[in-house]
Amino acid sequence: MTLLSVTAVRGERSRARRSSPTARRRSTARLSKAGYFFISGYVVLLALFGVAPTAYAVYLALTSAGGHFAGFSNFTNAYNDFRFVPAFKHVAEVMVIWLTALIVFVVGLSLMLHSMARRLSGAFRFLFYLPGALAGSASVLVWLFMLEPGVSPWNFVLSALSFKNLDQVLLPGHLPVLFALIAFWTGAGGWIVVMYGALNNIPNELLEAAKLDGASAWQTALWVKVPLIKKWIAYMVILAFAAGTQLFVEPQLVGQASLGLVSQYWSPNELAYVMAFQNNNFNEAAAVSIDLLVLGLMCAGAVVFRSKLFEVD
Amino acid sequence: MRSFIASKFPGTRKRGLRIALVTLVATGTIGGLVAAAEGAGFARSSAPRLLVWVDATRVAQVKAYEKSHPNVKVDVVTYDGNDGGSGTLQSKFALFNRVGHGWPDVFFSGENYDAASIASPQYKDAQVLSDGLVATSVLKKFAAGTLADCTVNGKIVCLRNDIGQDVLWYNKKLMDQFGYAVPTTWAQWAAIGEQVAKQHPGYIIGSAGNAFDDEIYLQASECPMSKLLNSYTVQISPTSPNCTRVANLLDPLIANGSVPVVSLFAPTFLKQYGSKVLMMTGPSWYGDFVFANPSGLAVPAGQIAAAAPLSWTAGKQPVTGDVGGGLWFVSSHSKQTKAAVAMATWLATSYKSQGIGPTYPAYTPDQAPWVTAQQKSGYFANDLGPVFAKAGTEIWSGWSALRYAPDSIWSSTVIPALTGGSTLASQLPAFGQGLKNVAQVNGYTVKG
């Protein structure tokens, strides 16, 4: 059977199952009720901890300290702050490295896992996921230990790069790579598990058909598997972009632990924090947060429309 | 789904609802009872209950207070002490100011610059102590210049815990062994550095990788990089000769390795230089915390001594810097101001409190007994008392307490550049520019 005929047969079979009108109505009614129940908890929490704070931030960003309407002055003041542009530059550098690494390695590794024997791939999936099980700050502390020459188990790597002390490891030019590395180490494992699940959804008949058509493992991976998990990759890109622009824990903890070698406003999220709690300027901090929100929404919008993420086939 | 559950477990739905209702009511009742008990507790006891924020090192002093004052109830909350200008104190106050309650009665900050920000109009969280709450006679007994960091707009808003006056620490055994005389001027010190680099490479006469090096070197040179001219104007002059002479002094020493760019608290410092410290200009608390400390350099007893801080002009009284000091505040929102002021004063002045601290007291009557206690251990090779006392009066007051910490600019701008191979001379303008930016963000006008 060829690829096309397999799809055709599957379509017929599924259509046949849903033919009876009463059966269809009962099943969809049951499905929709269950659906509402399952998302109800999430919606409540989203409203309380997502929508309400966002609305408050928008209010703060458009008003001044006294509560009067301030137009876009908070946004322009924040932009003109000497820390604003460097912070966004830093995060842009981290994002380029991190997103590329994430997409290439997560998809690559999950494809490799998918082609491995079940038990072996299970063991590897567990290993990849393990770093992600550590909370963000705990993983940064592990990394601080790994980056300190003299105490790090990877000292041979550090001395090969001629890093004799932490100051040399944390030189400003190295920071984007370091933070991308730490974020990747914690984040990739979870996404590999998700991608592996997505790959498992691909019906075996398709893969067999591809094999019969003469596709090699490499071609199957690239031209059959990847297009079918395109929506999952898009989903990963949206979430990774949002998380990346909001980088906070890594520069904050590394800065504190190194007694100030990384400035306190290295990333935009840290800048908002400093503006709010050191400069007591909640309005400008809210403006920076809204800037980050808009960035995330723009990326999400672009990805959703390009990949038709919400279209059901 | 409802019918499915009902069919498998008859009566479950109703029973489930009943269980949920009972749990809810029970939790609510218990919560209400607890709240009532706490409230009743407050109303019944007339003893003051003080909330204190301290860092881990000061907990011992608060515990001593509790022992001496059993009738006062103290709730202790520990935090990082705002070390290194971390901003934790400011963020706590910003939050509580917005919410309108939760302020402490007494709080400690390890960052000398905090008086300026906590007492600023933006926060208004520090109680003025000089308008009668603390007796003038008590305030006068603090060592000269130590309350400058606590003075905002002419009013004293905190009490100094200790002085971290910089002195010249040296290893008497090694200095005698190599035949070097203890220097009295910076020029002599640099000359020894050149000799050490040639004759005994690997040994060091100081370090240049610490966040507070600007206080050790620039403050001692009277370099105007954070000098308050009035409450709104700061002088930042990186091209002043008092600043450039420090760079010219240090750059050759950094280059020849006798003053390495390594943090004193890095594991690599211990490995590479732990037993090779010939001299080190540093605060009075280096003695206990760095040299004698078994988890620090752990230098054997009888070797470490302290000499007067180095001077820029031979024969003239030296000016020195200070690292640390710690400030005790009373919150302006405290409902028990008298009790809180009494507690803060006790913590800053009583020997029962200061004697426990690892730091040299700012309150003059406590200084001599503190030194005696230190000397009793027999660790130090000379009498620290007169050295500390004199150095404590020589701290340059032109390194003002501002609403930001210059240390954070020094460590994020200058140290990475020095690590990368730049000279200090080339970095002073960048340091000045960084300070200027932060000063302006904090509402200061900058005079170059």
**Per-window interface: A 51-70 vs B, CB < 8 A:** none
- Cβ distance B441 to A261 less than 8 Å, yes or no, reads no
CA pseudo-torsion sign A210, A213, A214, A219:
negative
Mean pLDDT throughout A108-129? 88
Q: Is the pLDDT at A311 greater than 80, yes or no? A: no
Q: How far is CA B107 from CA A151, B50, B72, B114, in A?
A: 36, 10, 16, 11
Taking an 8 Å cut-off on Cβ atoms, the answer to whether A171 and B94 are in contact is no
CATH number assigned to the domain covering B49-163+324-375: 3.40.190.10
DSSP string, B183-194: PSBHHHHHHHHH
B412–A263 CB contact, under 8 Å: yes
State yes or no: pLDDT of B35 exceeds 60. no
pLDDT tens digits along A154-183? 889 998 998 888 889 999 999 999 999 998
Chain A with chain B: Cβ pairs closer than 8 A: 95
pTM of the model: 0.81
Per-residue confidence at A14, pLDDT binned at 50, 70, 90? Answer: low
The confidence score (pLDDT) of residue A240 equals: 93
Q: Kindly state the DSSP code that residue B314 receives in the 8-state scheme.
A: T
CA-wise closest residue to B435 among B448, B416, B417, B418: B448
Residues in A 68-127 with any Cβ partner in B closer than 8 A: 81-83
| Spans of all domains in chain B | 1-30, 49-163+324-375, 166-321+404-447
Q: Binning pLDDT at 50, 70 and 90, where does residue B418 land?
A: very high
Query: What's the pLDDT score for residue B38?
Result: 45
Instruction: Copy the structure tokens of residue A29.
Output: 């009614």
What average pLDDT does range B381-406 have in this prediction? 88
B263·A255 Cβ contact <8 A: no
Choose among B87, B98, B416: nearest Cβ to A264.
B87
Question: Is the domain B166-321+404-447 a CATH 3.40.50.12240 member?
Answer: no
A168 in contact with B, Cβ within 8 Å: yes
**Cβ within 8 Å, pair A165-B411:** no
Give residue B39's pLDDT band: very low, low, confident or very high (50, 70, 90): very low
Note the pLDDT tens digit of each residue in A34-70: 889 989 999 999 999 999 999 999 999 999 988 899 8
Nearest residue, CB atoms, B416 vs list A82, A171, A278: A171
B295 contacts in A (CB within 8 Å)? none
The verdict on a CB contact (< 8 Å) between A82 and B411 is: no
State percent of chain A over pLDDT 90.
49
Is the model's pLDDT at B31 over the cut of 70? Answer: no
Q: What is the pLDDT of residue B44?
A: 44
All residues of chain B having their beta carbon less than 8 Å from the beta carbon of residue A172 are: 416
Domain boundaries, chain A: 20-62, 81-307
| Fold of domain A81-307 | MetI-like fold (1.10.3720)
Query: Which chain B residue is nearest to residue A263, measuring alpha carbons?
Result: B412
Question: What is the least distance, in Å, from the CA of A55 to any CA of chain B?
Answer: 18
Preferred mutation among A273, A280, A283 to probe B, highest tally of B CBs within 10 A: A280
Q: What is the pLDDT of residue B374?
A: 83
Q: What is the ipTM, given to two decimal places? A: 0.78
What is the pLDDT at residue B25? Answer: 57
Residue B394's identity, in one-letter code, is E
Q: Indicate the average pLDDT of chain A.
A: 87
Instruction: List CB contacts of B371: < 8 A, sequence separation 6 or more.
Output: B360, B383, B384, B385, B388, B389
What is the band of A3 on the pLDDT scale with cuts at 50, 70, 90?
very low
Among A30, A167, A282, select the one facing B263 at the smallest CB separation: A167
What is the per-residue pLDDT for B88? 84
Residue A278 near chain B (CB below 8 Å): yes
What is the percent of chain B where pLDDT is above 70?
Answer: 89
Mean pLDDT, range B59-67, rounded to an integer = 94
Least confident piece of the model among A225-234, B6-15, B326-335, B373-382: B6-15
3-state SS, residue B399: coil
